[in-house]
Amino acid sequence: MIPTVEWKNGVVRLLDQSRLPEHVEFLDCRDYRAVADAIRELKVRGAPAIGVTAALGVALGAQAVSATEFPAFAQALMPICDHLAVTRPTAVNLFWAIDRMKKKLASLSAQAVPAVKAALLAEAQAILDEDIALCKAMGKHGAELIANGQTVLTHCNAGALATAGYGTALGVIRAAWEQGKKIQVIADETRPVLQGARLTAWELMQDKIPVTLITDNMAGSLMRQGKIQLCVVGADRIAANGDVANKIGTYSVAVLAKAHGIPFYVAAPYSTIDLKTKTGADIPIEQRNSLEVTTIHGSHPIAPAGVAVYNPAFDVTPAELITGIITERGVFKPSELAKQFAS
Ligand code: MRU
């Protein structure tokens, strides 16, 4: 896979996901503001990828700070962190990654500023490398749940594109495929931004994993016909009680899966688990621009001008609809998560 995000010759290089699948283009962010804009505009998206990118954004911002003494340097880094933190509210990985960078900074107060800058960059790179390792571990645990010959439905894109590489939900699918299981994937197109059609279909085709694209309103009919044996999706934030915020439409898939007796799994690393948030009702849900709903790609209109629009980017799937949460430590019931990840 092409890297989603990387540090390259002093810039943060992103695969511009707003241009896929038509154009495979890279975006070089030369300052932290460009990194923040890229996150806000979905040029990079997916909870773990947002976290990794924000960490690299902090490291990039740090390189340009001119202060030569630690206290002034640390003070200058705070507005950079704040600027990156207000880009998107739902994926907790963003805040987790920025906090981790701040903790690293606090541990470096005895060092000279050039060494601090190098250590911050190393920390961001460690977050990136760790993210790929977490995805591979999730893949190993999750692949056990998929039997040879099964058809798996996924929603949005929780793949290599949504992480530093390999993917969460698609990592599970990828691992099952790598084990030689003959599986099929059904990808929901995922209105309104079409992450399923534009990104999941593209990513799976790159790896030659069989994928069939459907519109979101087709999932129930396929389930009723017995054409789907398992669902696996990613997550943007998991509350302490096991409720899961993920791309809008995930809740509908979970309800349909329950109605048809189909197992519904969520794959996510520890950086997506937010034990400070008690239930799904406490998770902030991002509201996005109405143009995402009323136009194709912001230009071609598909609705009358001036129509009222409701456009939440995420919904919450209650814990009781979730069969299991696939993590790097194993597969747990949503109710077991708080105990498992208490430390
Ligand atoms: O708005 P997006 O594209 O950032 O939303 C992405 C999702 O909802 C993913 O399913 C989630 O972040 C998990 S990615 C491994």
**For the chain, domain boundaries:** 5-135, 139-340
Per-residue pLDDT of the chain (343 residues; tens, 9 = 90+): 789 999 999 999 999 999 999 999 999 999 999 999 999 999 999 999 999 999 999 999 999 999 999 999 999 999 999 999 999 999 999 999 999 999 999 999 989 999 999 999 999 999 999 999 999 999 999 999 999 999 999 999 999 999 999 999 999 999 999 999 999 999 999 999 999 999 999 999 999 999 999 999 999 999 999 999 999 999 999 999 999 999 999 999 999 999 999 999 999 999 999 999 999 999 999 999 999 999 998 889 999 999 999 999 999 999 999 999 999 999 999 999 999 999 7
Residues tagged in the binding site annotation: 45-47, 88, 195, 246-247
Residue nearest to atom 6 of ligand 1 (CA): 46
Counting every residue, how long is the chain?
A: 343
Q: Give CA–CA dist 55/324, Å, rounded.
A: 29
**Which of these is catalytic: 131, 236, 243, 274?**
236
Identify the pLDDT of residue 298: 85
Identify the pLDDT of residue 2: 87
Whether the ipTM is more than 0.90: the answer is yes
Q: Ligand 1: distance of its center to the CA of 155 in Å?
A: 9
Please state the atom number of ligand 1 nearest to the C-alpha of residue 233.
10
Instruction: Report residue 291 CA to chain centroid gap.
Output: 22
The separation between the first and the last C-alpha atoms of the chain, rounded to the nearest angstrom, is 33
Identify the pLDDT of residue 12: 98
Identify the pLDDT of residue 248: 98
Is 236 among the residues known to form the active site? yes
Name every residue whose Cβ is closer than 8 Å to that of residue 49 and which is 6 or more positions away in sequence: 4, 5, 161, 162, 163, 164
Please state the atom number of ligand 1 nearest to the C-alpha of residue 91.
12
Instruction: Report the predicted TM-score, pTM, of the whole model to 2 decimal places.
Output: 0.98
Q: Ligand 1: distance of its center to the CA of 45 in Å?
A: 6
Longest CA–CA span in the chain (Å) reads 67
Q: Ligand 1: distance of its center to the CA of 321 in Å?
A: 19
**195, 238, 288: which to mutate for ligand 1, most atoms within 8 A of CB?**
195
Q: Ligand 1: distance of its center to the CA of 318 in Å?
A: 17
Please state the atom number of ligand 1 nearest to the C-alpha of residue 156.
10
Identify the pLDDT of residue 58: 98
Domain 139-340 belongs to what topology? Rossmann fold (3.40.50)
Ligand 1 neighbours by CB, cut-off 6 Å: 45-48, 91, 156, 158, 162-163, 168, 195, 234-236, 246-247, 313
Domain 5-135 part of CATH 1.20.120.420:
yes
Identify the pLDDT of residue 167: 98
Please state the atom number of ligand 1 nearest to the C-alpha of residue 163.
15
SS3 annotation, the chain: CCCCEEEECCEEEEECCCCCCCCCCEEEECCHHHHHHHHHCCCCCCHHHHHHHHHHHHHHHHHCCCCCCHHHHHHHHHHHHHHHHCCCCCCHHHHHHHHHHHHHHHCCCCCCHHHHHHHHHHHHHHHHHHHHHHHHHHHHHHHCCCCCCCEEEECCCCCHHHCCCCCCHHHHHHHHHHCCCCCEEEEECCCCCCHHHHHHHHHHHHCCCCEEEECHHHHHHHHHCCCCCEEEECCCEEECCCCEEEECCHHHHHHHHHHCCCCEEEECCHHHEECCCCCHHHCCCCECCCHHHHEECCCEECCCCCCCCCCECEEEECHHHCCEEEECCEEECHHHHHHHCCC
